[in-house]
Amino acid sequence: MTTGPILAVRELSKTFTMHSVGGRRVVSLERVGLDVAPGEHVALAGSSGAGKSSLLRCICRTYLPDSGTVVLDTAAGTGLPPAPVELTALGDRAMARLRGREIGYVSQFLQARPRTGPRAHVREAALRRGMPAVEADERAVAALRGLGIAEELFDIDCAVLSGGERQRINLAAGIVSPPRLLLLDEPVSALDPANRERALALIEELTARDVAVLAVYHSMSIIRRLADRVVVMEHGRVVDDASAESVLSADHSALKEAYA
Amino acid sequence: MTTTATALAHAEVSALEASRPTVLDEQAIREIRRAVLSGVCVPGFQVPFGSREVPVARGWGSGGLQATLSLAAEADTVKVIDQGDEEGVNAVNLRRLIQGSTGCATSADTREATIVQSRHRIPEDRLRRDQVLVLQVPQSEPLRGVEKSVLECNRMHAEADYSRIWVSMYEDLVTGGVVNQGAGYPVMVNGRYLMAPSPIPRWDIPRLDGAEHLTILSHGRDKKIYAVPPHTPVEPVTFDDVPYEVEHTAGSFCGLCGSADTFLVQTSAGGFLCSDVEWCARVRAGDVDAAEHRRIAPLHLLPDPARRVRALDESFLSDPASLHAEDRAQTPGALAAPGEEWALAVSGLTKVYPARRGSSAVTAARDVTFDVAPGEALGVIGESGSGKSTVMKCIIGDEAGAEGEVLIGGVESGTRNILGLSPSERRRLRISTLSVVYQDPSAGLDLGISAGGNIADRLTAAGVRSYREIRRTAARLLDRVEVPLARIDDVVGQFSGGMRQRVQIAKALATDPQVLLLDEPTTGLDASVAAGVLDLLRELIAERSIAVVVVSHDFSVIDALTDRAVVMHRGEVIEAGLTDQLFADPHRPYTQRLVAAARG
DSSP assignment of B351-417? EEEPPBTTB--EEEEEEEEEEE-TT-EEEEE--TTSSHHHHHHHHHTSS---EEEEEETTSGGGTS-
Tens of pLDDT, residue by residue over A215-241, are 999 888 899 999 999 999 999 999 999
CB B584 to CB A17 under 8 A?
no
- Sign of the four-CA dihedral B487, B491, B494, B495: positive
Report the C-alpha gap between B337 and B526 in whole angstroms: 39
User: What is the pLDDT at residue B1?
Assistant: 54
Nearest Cα residue in chain B from A22: B589
User: Which of A20, A61, A93 shows the shortest C-beta gap to B341?
Assistant: A93
CB B577 to CB A20 under 8 A?
no
Structure confidence at residue A1 as a pLDDT band (50, 70, 90): very low
Q: Is A96 on the interface with B (CB under 8 A)?
A: yes
pLDDT over 70 (residue B2): no
Q: Left (φ > 0), alpha (ψ -120 to 50) or beta: where does A38 sit?
A: beta
Mean model confidence pLDDT for chain B: 91
Q: Are B431 and B511 in contact (CB under 8 A)?
A: yes
Q: How many residues are present in chain B?
A: 600
pLDDT over 60 (residue A58): yes
Q: Left (φ > 0), alpha (ψ -120 to 50) or beta: where does A115 sit?
A: left
Q: Are A226 and A48 in contact (CB under 8 A)?
A: no
Q: Are B29 and B58 in contact (CB under 8 A)?
A: no
Residue B565 forms beta bridges with which residues?
B379, B577
| Minimum distance, in Å, between the CA of residue A202 and any CA atom of chain B | 28
Q: Could you say which of B274, B397, B404, B498 is catalytic?
A: B274
Of the candidates B504, B476, B515, which has an alpha carbon nearest to the alpha carbon of residue B328? Answer: B476
Structure confidence at residue B327 as a pLDDT band (50, 70, 90): low
Q: Could you say which of B39, B184, B220, B257 is catalytic?
A: B257
| Residue B41 is a catalytic residue | no
Structure confidence at residue B14 as a pLDDT band (50, 70, 90): low
Report the C-alpha gap between A129 and A126 in whole angstroms: 5
pLDDT over 90 (residue B525): no
Residue B132: CB atoms within 10 Å: 23
Helix axes B451-461, B497-509, angle to 10 degrees: 20
What DSSP state is assigned to residue A184?
E
User: What is the pLDDT at residue A230?
Assistant: 94
Structure confidence at residue B15 as a pLDDT band (50, 70, 90): low
Interface-testing mutation among B561, B563, B573, B595, with chain A (most A C-beta atoms within 10 A)? B563
User: What is the pLDDT at residue B57?
Assistant: 87
Tens of pLDDT, residue by residue over A181-214, are 999 999 998 899 999 999 999 999 998 888 999 9
In chain B, residues with a C-beta closer than 8 Å to the C-beta of A113 are: 538, 560
Name the pTM for this structure.
0.88
Amino acid at B345: A
Report the C-alpha gap between B480 and B173 in whole angstroms: 23
| Residue B153 is a catalytic residue | no
